[in-house]
Structure 1
């Protein structure tokens, strides 16, 4: 599903109007959707308070209030300001025949349903005055809240809280979700999100050309690798994974196992001399190859036809490791997943590495978590005016890479501006080694020929789904096998 910024949503409204759906009719449909959800979800709430702002969000609230009263509920309307004369919101307010109280006088109760129609996704300032005080009173009272479009105080662009924000039990938005529904903390404040059809033709998206999606299989399933019956193991993709020293081989083994479980026909762990014995003890289906110097790496990649590589999990950050990363960045054209320690190495001289890597633009996937992102792109991380999606896009454009900006709301961004917000992450993935598995999944899909952006999106979703299925108590060692099952189901469909 496409995700629209508030600006793009405004464009969708205008295009719908040009197609014959007036803003007045859209408002009636939006208010009707809110009323239906209120009746269906909260039938035990006999008292309803509708809080209306001065704009179109408030207009939706007036429509919902009228329909709920017509359904037999006790409904009161409270507003912060009158709508602009002649506007659709003013017309909706005129159609409401009940009393209207001043928002400053509103006293919420724990047993009432509060419909929050103060501000929607387009809010561009911090909540203050009567609106903020009303929000604080609702939170203190513990009222059930149904938000119209977005909980008031949540930025539709970034999901950030603008001064103060309501915690909704349910949010009804229209046509398409907004970034604020999917990015934290807004994602947590929305409760369950219902995307209502209010009659905007889907065809308007062709004119808007959105570049942001919720990360779902429909976006990339068509590109999943499906090997031919006559394919041999190297035609199914050869993935190289770089290991660190003897005491830190576990991370590379997790990446290698994930790559194999995700369909790579061959996986080789490249090991420094001192780690060979430790790795040989644990590896069975995965091959093992020793390297002493960066030149050995280049020779292996060429001779053994490596299709993708993972560098970073448990790799180390010393001078020898830096030389290998530099060689991979400068002299190899193999698709490369840079994770963990390799990100730290890269951040020490990012401009130098990327300047050379960008000259040929081979495939590069960076997988930073919040702290690593700050080391790689400190100016972007410190810019609080940017949303997580905007930071990821700018980073991807600068690095000419696909960036997997990890977290509870992982964002995947390509250098051409495409981006996706993942929606199936789980707290159970917050465990040591989880990121190493993700790096291996990405490399496996790249090695089998999947386009970089789609491979990154698929790997993140599969990783999240595997984490959800395993649930409480999972360790990173559980994830490769769980991911295999998820991927097998996707391909079998």
Structure 2
């Protein structure tokens, strides 16, 4: 069963839902009425002492929701002022009907002058906006933002692309956003997320069967999507059943990143963790590790010998490893193992990415790539440069091309699978942006792979648990603190 709270609809998918709802016999104006009433109720609940509600109405259905909200607010005795982009007689469909049913005399949008105690309802443009705002709206948005007045956005703050989360010129800064039935990508992707304030999702009566029939493959990352794949400890569990994770270290002066990944892997449930290092780095690592083992591996031949004797379940390569031919040699030796490739491992294929992609093309997905924005652009330059794609679409395109699970890192990390699934993560606190946090994430994902979790679910769970670990570690944490909190517990 689909967890409805995780559903994310693109604007195109939401249009299909609206059309299917109308075709099922639900009048579209009834949905607009419920949406506008929900906005009014939220405004009264949030700001019961408001001196004046100002409703800014656009030329489409978002504006129609605004006219309904204005009428509902006025019926409660609140003081309401309506400012519109288009005269009601020039509107069409449900928006026209809503405007004509609103008893308040509207003024032109450019006549609005903010007053000190205004509460603004932004019903100009919703999630379907995909073009730059007109000049007058672009001038209005910063003027309103500068006042610091509370803004309730209807569906999505005007100026934010519902698909990509991008700012289309300027955007209104909302304190609250009221959306309907489900989230849109623009609510979670950056920078759109920062303009939404607190988001509330209202059920306006579209049957869930219609939602599930038209939803695509994008979800809000949440344990309900992958918790059933996580390992559980039982009485007969022993260390080898919990998997053996190999983490590859850089040289003697670049060992810290591997130790962070290894520590996180051990904390996240791997039964055994071994750091593989060159002779010069073995002593450094051994002196700093206790429960994590150390193995000398100088070259590909050493690695192949080790792989032939050790029960290695999954590997992490890249953190502090070094860029170049040695990295590529090791990676090509690991093509049959679940592998998390991060940092230097990714950069080692900047000039020949297809060599990497082809090496992991067959069989089940077993490669997890964890690029930040710069690394993503180096590995997928054409996808990264496509302004028509949002982060979720870019991650999905990259996953399909690379035959790998992509963790496109950032404040709005997107996890994508070659089969088209994508999860947008939203639980990471801002203090997670600290040196070494990516190394910890690589170790956590590696630990889940070592315990038999499929690649996509391991990556999605790792990203979410990484955010939870940062919350528990608290502000001011270091990567070492983060690694200590890297656990499978969701409590």
Q: Same fold (TM over 0.5)?
A: yes
- 2: distance between equivalents of 1:42 and 1:154? 24
RMSD (Å), alpha carbons: 1.5
Please say if residues 396 and 416 of structure 2, whose CA atoms lie closer than 8 Å, have aligned partners that are also in contact. Answer: yes
Shift of 1:20: 3.3
Please say if residues 365 and 455 of structure 2, whose CA atoms lie closer than 8 Å, have aligned partners that are also in contact. Answer: no
The residue that corresponds to 1:32 in the other structure is 37
- 2: distance between equivalents of 1:364 and 1:425? 23
Equivalent residues in 2 for 1:70-109 (5 A)?
A: 70-82=75-87, 87-109=93-115
The TM-score normalised by the length of structure 1 is 0.95
- 2: distance between equivalents of 1:173 and 1:199? 13
Q: Determine which of 242, 246, 249 is the counterpart of 1:240.
A: 246
Consecutive unaligned residues in structure 2, runs of 5 or more: 1-5
Taking a change above 3 Å as real, the CA distance of residues 96 and 262 of structure 1, as seen in their structure-2 partners, is: same
Q: For 1:274-326, what per-residue CA distance to the aligned partner results, in whole angstroms no more than 9, with x for missing partners?
A: 11111111121111111122122123223212111000111111433332233
- Which moved further from structure 2: 172-181 or 344-353? 344-353
- 2: distance between equivalents of 1:207 and 1:360? 30
The residue that corresponds to 1:132 in the other structure is 138
The TM-score normalised by the length of structure 2 is 0.96
Q: Determine which of 12, 19, 32 is the counterpart of 1:14.
A: 19
The residue that corresponds to 1:384 in the other structure is 387
Q: Determine which of 146, 150, 155 is the counterpart of 1:149.
A: 155
- 2: distance between equivalents of 1:188 and 1:249? 36
Equivalent pairs, count: 485
The residue that corresponds to 1:398 in the other structure is 401
Shift of 1:209: 3.7
- Match status 1:280 vs 2:286: yes
- Match status 1:456 vs 2:459: yes
Q: Determine which of 115, 120, 127 is the counterpart of 1:114.
A: 120
Shift of 1:489: 4.1
- Match status 1:431 vs 2:437: no
The residue that corresponds to 1:66 in the other structure is 71
The residue that corresponds to 1:293 in the other structure is 299
Runs of 4+ in 1 over 3 A off after TM superposition: 82-86, 359-362
The residue that corresponds to 1:467 in the other structure is 470
Please say if residues 78 and 101 of structure 1, whose CA atoms lie closer than 8 Å, have aligned partners that are also in contact. Answer: yes
Q: For 1:25-45, what per-residue CA distance to the aligned partner results, in whole angstroms no more than 9, with x for missing partners?
A: 111110011001100111222
Taking a change above 3 Å as real, the CA distance of residues 271 and 2 of structure 1, as seen in their structure-2 partners, is: same
* Local SS of the residue matching 1:365: strand
The residue that corresponds to 2:51 in the other structure is 46
- 2: distance between equivalents of 1:20 and 1:483? 50
* Local SS of the residue matching 2:240: helix
Q: Determine which of 313, 336, 339 is the counterpart of 1:336.
A: 339
Shift of 1:361: 5.2
- 2: distance between equivalents of 1:422 and 1:399? 21
- 2: distance between equivalents of 1:480 and 1:457? 18
- 2: distance between equivalents of 1:39 and 1:393? 41
Please say if residues 9 and 215 of structure 2, whose CA atoms lie closer than 8 Å, have aligned partners that are also in contact. Answer: no
- Match status 1:196 vs 2:212: no
Please say if residues 107 and 137 of structure 1, whose CA atoms lie closer than 8 Å, have aligned partners that are also in contact. Answer: no
Q: For 1:4-33, what per-residue CA distance to the aligned partner results, in whole angstroms no more than 9, with x for missing partners?
A: 000111111122223332211111110011
Q: Determine which of 404, 412, 417 is the counterpart of 2:415.
A: 412
